[in-house]
């Protein structure tokens, strides 16, 4: 990264880890097709199966339950479907209950018809309303099929950690399938599919320092599985056809190995930097609103609103100061729109909010530079009469 700029948008994409780069380059030298039975093909197959074990280890799952995909969006569309199988027996899912703060890849409902998607509200603090979830599942008509619940573990905009274990208890009480988007949680909070009580986890390579173009759907078991989204040659045990991408998968697995180690110690250091930044932001602008500050958050994210400063204006201002940050989700084709997360929390979304997200390579010096840029932007806002 250039010395004149600092990258504070790790939730959008984490910088490629050196270990992931090396793994990708090494995999490029393997010429076989992983479905071929000759030695060259078996070498690639061995690589992929070793990578499957590494990704499984990141979330405490069985290697046999990891399905590699092109990314988290494909994984979401694979699992979010009304059509499942229990072994060879068709299993109907009648309705999808997705939280109001889900990433668009989940919020759009995957293969469910729009009328079969129901929104779970959240509190003003951005946490799933457990009473509302209980009521929605109690009212579900089981003659339509089983209910499915989709809730992300860590919100990509606010960094707020959702009470997945409690949600899992409620879901189990109503016979619901629980899908957890763990994209922003991987490598940042302890991740064990059994402890969470999730039936499926969604992962993304480039959010943890691997290459773009790889992800995974991780199942707790192998009996209850969604009908395939992509049909063809039957790769990934028939769950996802198409020749696997060993280069991206190798980088994904290398990143999984790296971020899965010493999570608590790594995140303690990152959280200390985040807290230092927030303290300086509050000193520079006492009226700054840091969303989710009073609830459990992952330690690398600051989602804030400067009253009187619109998100798109602020993003440009920070960019001119050499700071790369974002206005919420980065998965909207470069658009800066109103945050559905803020709307769900009861805030006026028209002003919007900005997100700073950091990681292992973020330095104290970069935190100071970011704080200085924030002070400049906030100061210009005051000078122009945008704030008291």
Cα distance between residue 313 and residue 300, in whole Å? 23
* Both structure tokens of 234: 């039957």
Look up 331 and say whether it is catalytic.
yes
Helix-, strand-, coil-residue percentages of the chain, each rounded to 5: 40, 20, 45
CB atoms closer than 10 angstroms to residue 120: 22
Of 125, 123, 124, 170, nearest to 149 by C-alpha is: 170
56 in helix, strand or coil?
helix
Cα distance between residue 344 and residue 84, in whole Å? 30
Cα distance between residue 210 and residue 216, in whole Å? 13
Residue whose structure tokens are 């939280």: 99
- 259 close to 251: Cβ distance less than 8 angstroms: no
Given 51, 59, 118, 331, the catalytic residue: 331
Cα distance between residue 383 and residue 324, in whole Å? 23
- 161 close to 296: Cβ distance less than 8 angstroms: yes
Of 296, 281, 252, 259, nearest to 66 by C-alpha is: 252
Cα distance between residue 261 and residue 252, in whole Å? 15
- 368 close to 306: Cβ distance less than 8 angstroms: no
Instruction: Tell me the backbone φ, ψ of residue 335, rounded to 5 degrees.
Output: -80, 145
Cα angle vertex 216, ends 215, 217, to 5°?
A: 145
Residues marked active site are found at 331
């Amino acid at each position: 990264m250039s010395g004149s700029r600092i990258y504070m948008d790790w939730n959008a994409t984490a910088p490629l880890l050196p270990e992931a780069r090396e793994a990708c380059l090494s995999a490029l030298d393997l010429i076989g097709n992983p479905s071929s039975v000759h030695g060259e093909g078996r070498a690639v197959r061995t690589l992929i199966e070793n990578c499957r074990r590494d990704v499984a280890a990141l979330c405490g799952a069985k290697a046999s339950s990891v399905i590699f995909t092109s990314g988290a969006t494909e994984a979401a569309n694979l699992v979010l479907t009304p059509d499942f199988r229990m072994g060879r027996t068709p299993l109907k899912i009648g309705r999808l209950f997705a939280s109001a703060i889900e990433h668009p890849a989940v919020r759009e409902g995957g293969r469910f018809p729009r009328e079969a998607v129901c929104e779970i509200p959240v509190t003003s603090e951005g946490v799933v309303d457990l009473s509302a979830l209980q009521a929605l599942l109690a009212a579900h008509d089981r003659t339509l099929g089983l209910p499915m619940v989709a809730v992300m573990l860590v919100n990509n905009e606010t960094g707020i950690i959702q009470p997945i274990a409690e949600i899992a208890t409620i879901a189990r009480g109503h016979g619901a399938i629980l899908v957890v988007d763990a994209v922003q949680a991987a490598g940042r909070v302890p991740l064990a599919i059994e402890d969470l009580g999730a039936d499926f986890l969604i992962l993304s390579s480039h959010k943890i320092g691997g290459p773009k173009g790889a992800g995974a759907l991780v199942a707790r078991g192998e009996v209850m599985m969604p009908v395939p989204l992509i049909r063809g040659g039957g790769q990934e045990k028939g769950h996802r056809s198409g020749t696997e991408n060993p280069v991206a998968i190798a980088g994904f697995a290398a990143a999984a190995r790296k971020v899965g180690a010493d999570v608590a110690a790594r995140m303690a250091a990152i959280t200390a930097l985040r807290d230092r930044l927030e303290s300086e932001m509050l000193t520079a602008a006492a009226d700054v609103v840091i969303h989710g500050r009073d609830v459990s958050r992952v330690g690398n994210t600051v989602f804030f609103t400067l009253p009187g400063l619109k998100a798109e204006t602020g993003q440009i201002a920070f960019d001119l100061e050499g700071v790369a940050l974002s206005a919420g989700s980065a998965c909207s084709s470069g658009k800066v729109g109103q945050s559905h997360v803020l709307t769900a929390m009861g805030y006026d979304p028209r002003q919007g909010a900005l997100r700073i997200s950091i990681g292992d390579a973020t330095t104290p010096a970069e935190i100071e530079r970011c704080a200085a840029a924030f002070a400049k932007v906030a100061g210009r806002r005051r000078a122009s009469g945008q704030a008291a």
